[in-house]
Chains A and B, each alone.
Chain A
Amino acid sequence: MRFAVVSFPGSNCDDDCVRVVREVLGESAHKVWHGDDDLGAPDVVLLPGGFSYGDYLRCGAIAAGSPIMGAVRRFAAAGGPILGICNGFQILTEAGLLPGALHRNAGLSFICRDQHVRVASDASPFTAGLSDRVLRLPIAHHDGNYHADAETLRRLEGEGQVVLRYCDAAGDSHDAANPNGSVGHIAGVRNAAGNVVGMMPHPERCAEPLLGNEDGRTLFEAVLRQGSV
């Protein structure tokens, strides 16, 4: 499969994504600059983490208007699988490709540590076959507090659009296991069609034995099992 990894000014996890695709999955990866207007005919698009445009205005807000986002929108509309990780998730919400918004962590601190999450829906290309799986993934963000209004939240929960939920090691979600104040302990969501997914945790940072944790690899392997679009 061909993975396109979009680099925005300030992205800093793009090379990590490329490494996972090439070295861990053994698939093809190419980087696409935000100023381009062509994704290079990929099967999967990854929007990596980082601090695009220095998080100016709101995290992801300026990147959401980048030239490449037109091609990302067309890819999304055609049903292509897209995963936004951390800042990539923020960009997808700012672009209106995913519901809700991410704002300042409830505790106001930048949080960088491992966090357990449970797969809340397997109806997405990146969580297929992983229903109820508890994963330990790194989080590293200042603005990961997921917000959606009550009506949107009801729709997300009703339609199974919540894909990852913060939890403890046993898989139970409660306030003490919620790192940032996200409503519904939401760590990741998908769009209504299911092909666009965003998550705050970083699966690309825990996908090989050298890093001491391979839980992240399962999410990338899930999309490989889906085959080409």
Chain B
Amino acid sequence: MKGTVTVRLKGGVLDVEGKAIEGALGRLGFADVAAVRVGKVFEVTLPDGDPDAARATLEAMAAQLLANPVMETFEVALEPS
């Protein structure tokens, strides 16, 4: 079974990479871009089993390693099997 963990910078944290990309998009002619923020997506393959247990496992992974709670938030999702 496949899960995804999406990690995003918290709202109050300045995203310097996002700002640079936002500027580059503007220079390419995408003048309407109001903001860009950069996150990460982790695709995790787990053995087939109980979806609730898998979701709990993904949340534990995110809390312990994949995200830094000081700066980031995360969401987990399971692909329907």
- Asked if A105 lies at the interface with its beta carbon under 8 angstroms from chain B, I say yes
Give the docked Cα–Cα distance between A58 and B12 (Å).
Answer: 19
With contact pairs A108-B20, A147-B71 given, residues A103 and B66 touching in the complex (Cβ less than 8 Å) = no
Residues of A within 8 A of B45 (CB): none
**CB < 8 Å neighbour of A181 from B16, B20, B71:** B16
Min CB–CB distance A32 → chain B (angstroms): 23
- Nearest to A101 among chain B residues (CB) is B70
Give the docked Cα–Cα distance between A147 and B16 (Å).
Answer: 13
Contact A103 B65 (CB under 8 A): no
Contact B70 A149 (CB under 8 A): yes
Residues of B within 8 A of A100 (CB): 70
Secondary structure class of chain B's binding surface, majority of residues: loop
Contact B66 A57 (CB under 8 A): yes
Number of A interface residues at 8 Å Cβ cutoff, please give it. 21
Residues of B within 8 A of A61 (CB): 65, 68
- Asked if A40 lies at the interface with its beta carbon under 8 angstroms from chain B, I say no
- Nearest to B17 among chain A residues (CB) is A104
- Asked if B46 lies at the interface with its beta carbon under 8 angstroms from chain A, I say no
Most buried by A among B13, B20, B68, B71: B68
Contact A57 B65 (CB under 8 A): yes
- Nearest to A150 among chain B residues (CB) is B12
- Nearest to B13 among chain A residues (CB) is A147
Give the docked Cα–Cα distance between A70 and B42 (Å).
Answer: 27
- Asked if B14 lies at the interface with its beta carbon under 8 angstroms from chain A, I say yes
Residues of A within 8 A of B20 (CB): 108
| A interface residue numbers (CB < 8 A to B) | 57-58, 61-62, 65, 93-94, 99-101, 103-108, 145, 147-149, 181
The 7 nearest A-B residue pairs measured at CB = A101-B70, A101-B71, A104-B16, A101-B68, A106-B16, A108-B16, A108-B20
